[in-house]
Amino acid sequence: MGEFSLRKLIRIKSKTGKSSTEWKKIKPLIIVLKNFLISKIGNMMPSNFNYLFFKLMGVKIEKNVQLMPSPGFDFFFPELISVGEGTIIGMDCLILCHEFTTNEFKYGGVKIGRNVLIGARSVVLAGVTIGDNSIIPANTLVYTNIPSNMIAFGSPLQFKKIENKR
């Protein structure tokens, strides 16, 4: 499947109906609470200042990244998120590093490349890599890896190569 490969997730089996408590085996509650509070404060800050709070949580944010108001970085596993230089993350985006099913807890990193644009209210699921120079329009659910130089849109996801206009 090449660059369009499936997400990389660590899976922990659980009893039916108990998957939402499995994170406690990996992460202390006090750390999650600290991250939750920092994220709430960060979401109240102006966009040119909020990145400092998300870095404090553990999100790896490179230079010249623009975070619009209210980005939602996973406060359970923020250290698994990296955002490349020159990227813009739109208002109310949600970047997740964990998910639950009926009998399984899953978690994995999210890598956002350089010069990526993620439109407002988009959701990026755990285990996804978004390649450099890609565009994710508003309200897009990213559930698979996105190669570099692509526009990924719609449901189900569709891909269009970004042509170099030089």
Q: Which of 151, 91, 155 is nearest to 121 (CA)?
A: 91
Convert the pLDDT of each residue in 85-99 to its tens digit: 999 999 999 999 999
CA atoms within 13 A on the CB side of 46: 2
Q: Which residue has the tokens 């890609």?
A: 134
Instruction: Domains for the chain: give ranges and CATH numbers.
Output: 2-161 (2.160.10.10)
How much is the pTM? Answer: 0.91
* Band of residue 1 on the pLDDT scale cut at 50, 70, 90: very low
Q: Which sign, positive or negative, has the C-alpha torsion 40, 41, 42, 43?
A: positive
User: Which percentage of the chain shows pLDDT scores above 70?
Assistant: 95
pLDDT of residue 154: 86
